[in-house]
């Protein structure tokens, strides 16, 4: 129970303390890093306790199921909490070193910790209403962070982000009301049985409504249009954590709802089409861009398609590959956005037409970009290759050759767009110092980014046991009886 509560309650308590330390920035930094270290330790302990496929349940306040607030950790939820806690910790260290987020105003650290609590609650909650609350906590913090700095472009694109998020929230609340009116409960374990008693048409309609709600947050096709404009304008640490985590909350919610609440026990043609279009449209958008952050933002969309592909197959291999892919993508995508921030810090811009020759003037930065870029493109032996190979094999086994073909084409186009960044920013002659003055990269930013690059390489070295853990999580998704029984106290 303690390990379930710490990732949610500790960051909230720390945020309150941090907010009261407005005149002591060093204390805020110590509290932020210390809190996320403790959260990560609790998350790892939680994962160890469910790594055999078991489920840990806590009823907050002692209220009986299904009335009270239920926190649930199965292998998938625990994996997500561990990875998100690690990313939040590393990005906070990066943010402390970044001149744009050194928190002179006094509210970056409290808001960041509130975001951390919302992310953890999204993965651990066992009912739809508290999932809604978690989304709102996360979104409220993200509204502040995406406009941190307050320039005109950030505010303009931040408004788009806010409007789209509010529309998703209204739809989510409507869907919850319809579910409660139809079944009398919002507890997901309870709903897994009671939704089977409603008419097939109503169940399909509710499933589609939840797919739209979570699809907006995950940025799947055709609901992704808000993301490439909103994310690149935020400060680099904020963009990195948004890119790594926030869309994955949407993906997690889609996986959870389509395996626990609206499962049909067979491959979904609708999700296969959505996955293929998300992959393809996202990568075509990336190829057309000329700014590093915008290219990477379109790639977020494209890569979400691979995760939905694994879910759509609804096989043990497909879901295990999807879980593996999510973890790989969180690490690699966060790293690439941190590198993009370093490029801006070094050269003063992320526009490829104004960059050149960074390989000669900043070779460390070139290495930090090259390794995760090759992984994102799926080049052997990096983690992206292992994840895509697992998905392709699962796709062939399930007879989804068309989607497999699309995924291979998208992988080639991803490599092309990564080459575009390399050729534009790192290749060629060094920039002329009279037009762009090179600046020194803060060591803390470089160190945090290097840690994630090492983590992505370690991910490859430990691919076999990590994939086995993904299979354990997938078994719980294919057969949610252990989850349901644990929540019911059976």
- pLDDT (tens digit per residue) in 412-422: 999 999 999 99
Confidence of residue 490 (pLDDT cuts 50, 70, 90): low
pLDDT at site 150: 65
Count CA atoms closer than 13 A to 288's CA, side-chain side. Answer: 8
Token pair belonging to 360: 């000669």
Q: Which of the four pLDDT bands, split at 50, 70 and 90, describes residue 438?
A: low
3-state secondary structure 30-74: HHHHHHHHHHHHHHHHHHHHHCCCCCEEEEECCCCCCCCEEEEEC
pLDDT in tens, 136-164: 999 899 988 888 766 777 777 778 888 89
**pLDDT value of position 348:** 80
Q: Between β-strands 56-60 and 69-73, what pairing exists: parallel, antiparallel or unpaired?
A: antiparallel
Question: What was the pLDDT predicted at 434?
Answer: 44
At 79-124, the pLDDT tens digits run 999 999 999 999 999 999 988 777 666 789 999 999 999 999 999 9
Other beta carbons less than 10 A from residue 238's beta carbon: 30
237 to 45, 91, 98, 108, 147: CA distances (angstroms): 27, 6, 8, 11, 12
Q: What's the pTM? A: 0.95
Whole-angstrom distance, CA of residue 362 vs CA of residue 417: 21
For residue 264, give the 3-state DSSP assignment: coil
**CB neighbour list of residue 414: distance below 8 Å, 6 or more residues apart:** 283, 286, 299, 302, 376, 377, 378
Query: What are the tens digits of pLDDT across the range 271-304?
Result: 999 999 999 999 999 999 989 999 999 999 999 9
Mean pLDDT of 198-208: 93
Average pLDDT over residues 335-347: 92
Q: Which residues contact 293 (CB under 8 A, 6 or more apart)?
A: 231, 232, 239, 337, 340, 350
Write the CA distances from 269 to 3, 280, 311, 399, 403, integer angstroms.
38, 17, 11, 12, 10
Per-residue confidence band for 355, with pLDDT thresholds at 50, 70 and 90:
confident
Q: Is the pLDDT of residue 350 over 90?
A: no
3-state DSSP assignment of residue 291: strand
DSSP sequence for 177-205: HHHHHHHS--BHHHHHHHGGGS-HHHHHH
Tell me: the pLDDT tens digits for 208-237?
999 999 999 999 999 988 888 888 888 889
């Amino acid at each position: 129970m303690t390990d379930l509560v710490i990732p949610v309650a500790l960051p909230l308590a720390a945020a309150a303390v941090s907010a009261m330390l407005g005149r002591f920035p060093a204390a805020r930094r110590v509290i932020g890093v210390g809190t996320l270290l403790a959260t990560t330790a609790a998350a790892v302990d939680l994962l160890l306790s469910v790594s055999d496929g078991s489920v840990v349940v806590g009823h907050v306040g002692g209220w009986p199921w299904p009335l009270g607030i239920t926190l649930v950790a199965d292998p998938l939820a625990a994996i997500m909490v561990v990875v998100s806690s690690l990313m939040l910790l590393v990005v906070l260290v990066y943010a402390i070193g970044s001149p744009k987020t050194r928190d002179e105003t006094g509210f970056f650290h409290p808001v960041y910790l509130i975001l951390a609590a919302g992310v953890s609650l999204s993965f651990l909650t066992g009912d739809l209403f508290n999932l809604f609350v978690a989304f709102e906590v996360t979104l409220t913090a993200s509204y502040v962070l995406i406009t941190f700095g307050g320039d005109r472009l950030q505010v303009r694109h931040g408004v788009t982000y806010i409007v789209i998020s509010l529309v998703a929230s209204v739809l989510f609340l409507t869907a919850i009301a319809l579910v409660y009116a139809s079944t009398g409960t919002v507890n997901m374990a309870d709903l897994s049985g009671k939704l089977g008693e409603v008419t097939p048409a109503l169940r399909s309609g509710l499933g589609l409504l939840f797919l739209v709600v979570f699809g907006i947050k995950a940025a799947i096709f055709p609901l992704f249009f808000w993301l490439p404009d909103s994310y690149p304008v935020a400060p680099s640490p904020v963009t990195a954590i948004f890119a790594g985590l926030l869309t994955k909350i949407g993906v997690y919610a889609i996986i959870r709802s389509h395996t626990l609440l609206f499962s049909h026990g067979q491959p979904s043609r609708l999700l296969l089409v959505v996955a293929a279009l998300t992959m393809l449209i996202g990568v075509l958008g990336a190829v057309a861009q000329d700014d590093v952050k915008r290219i990477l933002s379109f790639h977020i969309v494209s890569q979400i398609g691979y995760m939905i592909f694994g879910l759509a197959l609804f096989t043990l291999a497909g879901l295990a590959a999807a879980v593996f892919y999510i973890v790989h993508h969180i690490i690699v995508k966060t790293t690439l956005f941190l590198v993009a921030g370093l490029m801006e810090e070094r050269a003063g811009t992320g526009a490829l037409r104004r960059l050149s020759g960074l390989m000669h003037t900043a070779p460390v930065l070139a290495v930090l970009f090259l390794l995760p870029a090759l992984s994102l493109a799926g080049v052997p032996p990096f983690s992206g290759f292992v994840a895509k190979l697992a998905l392709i094999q699962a796709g062939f086994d399930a007879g989804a050759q068309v989607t497999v073909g699309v995924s291979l084409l998208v992988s080639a186009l991803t490599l092309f767009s990564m080459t575009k960044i390399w050729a534009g920013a790192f290749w060629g002659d060094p920039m002329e110092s009279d037009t762009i003055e090179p600046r020194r990269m803060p060591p803390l930013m470089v160190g945090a980014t290097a840690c994630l690059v090492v983590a992505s390489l370690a991910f490859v070295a430990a691919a076999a046991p990590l994939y086995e853990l993904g299979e354990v999580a997938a078994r719980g998704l294919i057969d949610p009886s252990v989850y349901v029984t644990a929540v019911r106290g059976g």
